[in-house]
Amino acid sequence: MKFFDRIWKTGTAAVSGAIIAGGSAAFAEPKVEVMHMWTGGAAAEALAKMATRFRDQGGDWEDNAIAGHTAKQYAALRARVMSGDAPTAVQLKGKAIEEWAESLGLGDLNYIAEPGNWNKVMAPQLIDIMSYEGKFVAVPVNIHRVNWMFASKKAMDKVGETKMPKTWAEFNVVAEKMAAAGLIPVGHGGQDWQDLTIFETVAVGMSVDFYKKAFVDLDDAALRGPMMIKTLDQTRKMVGWMDSNSPGRSWGETAVMLGKGDAGFQFMGDWWVGNMTSLGHKHGVDYYCDTPPAEDGKLGFTLNSDSFAFFDQTDPDKKAGQKMFAEIAFSKETQKDFNLSKGSIPARNDVDLSDFTPCQQMAQKHLDAASSQGTLVPSIAHSIAQPQAIRSAVMEVVSNFMNSDQGSQDAANQIADAVKSAM
């Protein structure tokens, strides 16, 4: 049963679809309650900059951070919506935007988007994601690349490596050298979403075309086939290079291990860069970043984007707050400040990146290249490729595989079966 089918069977949501602009809020004092999942690190720092700008312009900002990840935040949101008390601004992303817009209604942002020229200045890769039935219903704050490979310079120096591996075979050789040197070759936090993130990165690195068939098209033959087996086999090798303290560890704690030189590699989205910058680490001095190994030689770019959407409010202060929030969030100034902290790149195409890190500048170049080459793909690990039900089904199987001795063929069949059941 689909998620929103369950909502309608359990109650009626007191939400309507349009944000009303105009004179009713002429004397309103802008106010927002912002529900999001950024509880610490560079992400919280980035959002704090946005909150400061909102308050500096006379707004009242109430922060509502939900610890955990996407599923936990969406559960909290469902409870609020069901009680008729939807937050004024909520972090939604990818397929969830379409689901909420279709089933419960999200605010029409065209009254802000049209004078703001969003169709011209928004990164073209995001326009369809942020729109529903020809109307903007969400405002993006960034573009994340998920499939990054980060390496500790100290660890690389210890094993005499100066170049990042370009194939999985090359990676395996370097990992073995690190293991022999007493290092942890693959730093990883054993949480289900991190498990799916590293698995996704391996899948794209095996073949971009395979990834599209399996996790965008949900092709059953691809989900059960030989390329999936290769992906799972390589993932199994990665698990063997993780340390016994991995289960339950956060990605930020793992990043610290790379900074110290205790671990060699970490596969994580570029929020990792923002975190390392906040810790004082620099590219080329403390760490390296690069596209992960690619067996097909293609430049895969796994897209993720954070965005905020709004539900209708009757309070004029909250209506005014929604308008101010959207305009501030998508302004050039906020996009620069926010993404400098977050490690991502702006959702606008007119922001100067000269102050950004080499990894962020690389991300922009790779985004442009992948877009032109047809190798830009949406992330399933981060809810862009598929709805939450399918993402959760795949994540459960992958995480179970990584935390057991299950065989690759068996896991492939379980992934395919789980996808079929969740559709």
User: Would you say the CATH fold of 145-303+367-422 matches that of 3-141+305-362?
Assistant: yes
pLDDT single digits (tens) 326-335: 999 999 999 9
pLDDT of residue 385: 96
Q: How many residues does the chain have?
A: 423
Q: Which residues contact 160 (CB under 8 A, 6 or more apart)?
A: 177
pLDDT single digits (tens) 256-310: 999 999 999 999 999 999 999 999 999 999 999 999 999 999 999 999 999 999 9
* Fold classified for 145-303+367-422: D-Maltodextrin-Binding Protein; domain 2 (3.40.190)
Closest to 212 in 3D by CA, of 197, 222, 199, 202: 222
| Position 337 pLDDT exceeds 80 | yes
Q: Which two tokens stand for residue 165?
A: 């591996």
Radius of gyration of the chain (CA): 21
Tell me the DSSP string of 311-328: ---S-HHHHHHHHHHHHH
- The Cα–Cα gap between 351 and 363 comes to 14
pLDDT of residue 298: 97
CA distances from 420 to 6, 130, 207 (A): 18, 27, 22
Tell me the DSSP string of 76-107: HHHHHHHTT---SEEEE-THHHHHHHHHT---
Alpha helix positions (H), 144-242: 153-158, 168-180, 192-206, 208-211, 220-224, 226-240
Query: Considering only 17-26, 132-141, 227-236, 306-315, which range has the smallest mean pLDDT?
Result: 17-26
pLDDT single digits (tens) 47-99: 999 999 999 999 999 999 988 777 788 888 888 888 888 899 999 999 999 99
Task: Determine the CATH number of domain 3-141+305-362.
Answer: 3.40.190.10
Per domain, the residue ranges of the chain are 3-141+305-362, 145-303+367-422
Tell me the pTM: 0.90
Instruction: Report residue 105's pLDDT band, with 50, 70 and 90 as the boundaries.
Output: confident
